[in-house]
Chains A and B, each alone.
Chain A
Amino acid sequence: EIVLTQSPATLSLSPGERATLSCRASQSVSNYLAWYQQKPGQAPRLLIYDASNRATGIPARFSGGGSGTDFTLTIGSLEPEDFAVYYCQHRSNWFTFGQGTRLEIK
C-alpha cells in the first residue's frame, strides 16, 4: 500500500507570499497524483491532477510539479481565499490521501 506523507503539517504565511507544499509517496506513483483544497465547512475541491494539470476553473497561481515519489503544490502569490487545508491523493490499489497541510495566515 502506498503511503502519502505531506509536509509541513502547518504552513504560516502572509497574503502575497509564495507557498510551497510537499507530498512524498512511499514508492513511485509516476505522475498519478492530485491535489485538493478544502476550506472550513466545505467539500474538497480538485485543484491539480496528473501532478501538474490544473482542474477546470483553477487560477494560474496554483501549480503542481514532481514525479515518481516527490511532488509539490505551489501557490504563486497567496490570496486571502487560499488559506485552507490541502490534501494530496493517489490511486494505487485504491484511493489514498495524504494527511493534509494546513495553510494559515501569519
Chain B
Amino acid sequence: EVQLVESGGGLVKPGGSLRLSCAASGFTFSGYNMNWVRQAPGKGLEWVSSITGRGTYIYYADSVRGRFTISRDNAKNSLYLQLNSLGAEDTAIYYCARASNNWNYFDYWGQGTLVTVSS
C-alpha cells in the first residue's frame, strides 16, 4: 500500500524558515517523480515544486522560486521541502504527492502538514 506521511509543519514568524519532510513507503521511491502541492485555508490547490526520481531535474512555481528548495533522499525514501523567507501568503497545508508514471497527474497524496506564518 502506497503511503506518504508529511511532517515538519508548524507556526513560524514572517521571514522564518521551516523544513518539511515526507516519508514514503509501499512503492519504489526512486522510480517516481515527487511533488509538493499546497492549499491555503479555504482556497484551492496550488502546485509548488517537483523533483525527478534521481533528483536530476527540479522545478518550482514562480511564487516560491528562490525561497523554497526541494530535495530527496532515495536511501531514506524521503522527500523534503526547505521553506525560507516565509510570508503570510505561504500559510497553507503542504501535501506531498506522487506523480503518475507519465508525470501528468498526482496519483497518491499524503495527509498534509500545516504551515502557519504569523507574528
Contact = CB atoms under 8 A, between A and B. Distances in A.
Interface of A: 32, 34, 36, 38, 42-46, 49-50, 55, 87, 89, 91, 94-100
Contact of A46 (B50, B61, B106): B106
B111 interface: yes
A87 B104 contact: no
Contacts of A98: 44
Given A55-B107, A100-B44, 6 more contacts: A43-B109, A43-B110, A49-B104, A89-B105, A91-B103, A96-B47
Given A94-B59, A95-B47, A43 B100 contact: no
A91 B104 contact: yes
Contacts of B104: 32, 34, 49-50, 91
A94 B107 contact: no
Q: Which label, helix, strand, loop or mixed, suits the secondary structure of the A interface?
A: strand
Interface residues on B, range: 20 to 34
Which 9 residue pairs across A and B have the least CB separation, nearest first?
A95-B47, A43-B109, A34-B105, A97-B45, A91-B104, A49-B105, A100-B44, A99-B44, A46-B107
B40 to A, nearest CB: 12
B59 A44 contact: no
Nearest to A100: B44
Q: Which label, helix, strand, loop or mixed, suits the secondary structure of the B interface?
A: strand
Interface of B: 35, 37, 44-47, 50, 59, 61, 95, 100, 103-112
Contact of B112 (A43, A49, A89): A43
A99 B105 CA distance: 17
A44 B110 contact: no
26 contacts: A32-B104, A34-B104, A34-B105, A36-B45, A36-B106, A43-B109, A43-B110, A43-B111, A44-B95, A49-B104, A50-B104, A89-B45, A89-B105, A89-B106, A91-B103, A91-B104, A91-B105, A94-B47, A94-B61, A95-B47, A96-B47, A97-B44, A97-B47, A99-B44, A100-B44, A100-B45
Nearest to A55: B107
A44 B106 contact: yes
